Amino acid sequence: MTATDPALTALSQGWCALSLLHGKIEAHIERALQSGHELSVREYSLLDVLSRQHSGPGGHLQMKQVADAVVLSQSATTRLVTRLEDRGLLTRYLCDTDRRGIYTDVTESGQELLSQARPTNDRALREALDEAARNPELAPLVRAVEELRVPA
């Protein structure tokens, strides 16, 4: 294959369209969450992921799992957790069975803020997808996103 191979060109254009769609969606949600709740997309995502933990077996996530879920490095995730902990939205404590393990839970204030922000996030996502669907280059990707059924 050469640099001008049509298959590579199509693949590159598809990747650029996907990147564009992601950027547009993230920017739209970011503005909505910042203006309505003083939350970034990453902060909202972290609160959302951590709010889904439970007390049963395997119910608490390790920091690497949290980092993967919010698409950040472990160090960036730790800094984000610290910022939200400083705001009283998260709390950390030692694992009862493994003193090296640290759990992170959403506080009552964090749960309340997340509950208030969730409709804003959902509305902004819908608006961003609807806007992108009007762009012929992005419309097929929007349809693909809308058809995704991710297991819980």
Per-residue pLDDT for 4 more than 90? no
- pLDDT by residue (tens digit) across 16-38? 999 999 999 999 999 999 999 99
Report CA 104 to chain centroid distance, whole Å. Answer: 17
pTM exceeds 0.85: yes
Amino acid 2: pLDDT = 57
Amino acid 96: pLDDT = 73
Rounded to the nearest 10°, the torsion over CA 66, 70, 54, 118 is 160
**In sequence order, which residues have a C-beta less than 8 Å from that of residue 37 and are 6 or more positions away?**
44, 113, 116, 117, 120
CA distance 103 to 53: 10
Amino acid 3: pLDDT = 60
- pLDDT by residue (tens digit) across 115-127? 999 999 999 999 9
Decide which of 62 and 40 is more confident: 40
Q: Does domain 8-147 have CATH number 1.10.10.10?
A: yes
